[in-house]
Amino acid sequence: MRLIKGLVHVLIRLAVLPFKLALVMLGGTFKAGVKVGGAPVKVGWRVTRAAGISGVFCFVLGLVIGLLFAPSKGREMRAKLRRLLTGQSGLSDEELADRVAFELGHAPRTWHLPQPDVAVVDRRVQLRGTVPHETAREELLRVAANIPGVAGVDDLLELDTAASSEAG
């Protein structure tokens, strides 16, 4: 029963809080109900204004620190934001080329293969280089084609005849 009374008391205080804050903004004061050293604490407009100014200052400081330690350059972040706002989905050709190269180097079926050169033109991936066998070519093409944002894959890979003759 005591817990319910305490909960009701807290809820009433939360409901009255916006009205008390409005009163303070108009220049009045109110008793917060907390006694410090036997005297009630009074909160006036100076205290609330100082709290507001320090809150804005801390927000700006946090924003500056976040931008200083951002993982990418401001130009890149603005370009991504511009693409999001204009409704363009996906990555630029350069970012897509980096992503394809990363995926080819880390995919379980292609990480051990000689990595091809990756170029992207109009969302089409071009793979250049040599591969040891036909299965490696197929796996590289399959991994590149399954990356989101890739419109197609141009196979410019050459079969390494020296490696295939040694294996045969």
Residue 154 has a pLDDT of: 94
19: in domain = yes
Q: What is the CATH number of the domain that holds 158?
A: 3.30.1340.30
Domain membership flag for residue 51? yes
Per mean pLDDT, which of 27-36, 45-54, 66-75 is the most reliable?
66-75
> What would the pLDDT profile of 26-48 be if each residue is shown by its tens digit?
666 655 555 545 555 566 767 66
Residues 36 and 98 placed together within one structural domain of the fold: no
Residues 96-147 pLDDT 10s: 899 999 999 999 999 999 999 999 998 899 999 999 999 999 999 999 999 8
With respect to residue 86, please indicate whether it lies within any of the assigned structural domains: no
Same domain (yes/no): 99, 132: yes
**How would you write the chain as a 3-class SS string?**
CHHHHHHHHHHHHHHHHHHHHHHHHCCCCEEEEEEECCEEEEECHHHHHHHHHHHHHHHHHHHHHHHHCCCCCHHHHHHHHHHHHHCCCCCCHHHHHHHHHHHHHHCCCCCCCCCCEEEEECCEEEEEEEECCHHHHHHHHHHHHCCCCCCEEEEEEEECHHHHHHHC
Domain coverage including residue 45: 2-68
Q: How many domains does the chain have?
A: 2
Question: Of 93 and 126, which is predicted with more confidence?
Answer: 126
Residue 74 domain flag: no
